[in-house]
């Protein structure tokens, strides 16, 4: 499971067997959400993250979108 970065207590990562479209998983403790990154950033699923955590996650994804896409392409060989 490639961990991309941590931001305000949130962990951003991929699963090693993930699939397109490009997306990122975000967790805090046992709670998790999934955001699509391309073609646009969008919350796909939320399993317990609080509204404030979702806001922080969205901010971090927007600020690091290029890094996320680059790391996805490196890891999955695109």
Cα–Cα distance measured from residue 78 to residue 75, given in angstroms and rounded to the nearest whole number: 8
**For position 51, what pLDDT does the model report?**
97
Taking only the tens place, the pLDDT of each residue in 19-38 is 999 999 999 999 999 999 99
Q: What is the average pLDDT across 54-71? A: 97
Comparing C-alpha atoms, which of 53, 61, 50 is closest to residue 5? Answer: 61
Task: Report the pLDDT value the prediction gives residue 1, as an integer from 0 to 100.
Answer: 81
Whether 78 has a pLDDT exceeding 80, the answer reads no
Instruction: Tell me the pLDDT of the chain averaged across its residues.
Output: 95
């Amino acid at each position: 499971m490639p961990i991309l970065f941590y931001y305000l207590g949130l962990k951003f990562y991929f699963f090693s067997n993930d699939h397109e479209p490009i997306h990122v998983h975000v967790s805090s403790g046992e709670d998790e959400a999934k955001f699509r990154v391309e073609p646009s950033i969008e919350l796909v699923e939320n399993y317990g993250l609080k509204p404030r955590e979702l806001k922080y996650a969205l901010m971090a994804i927007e600020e690091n979108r290029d890094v996320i896409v680059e790391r996805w392409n490196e890891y999955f060989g695109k």
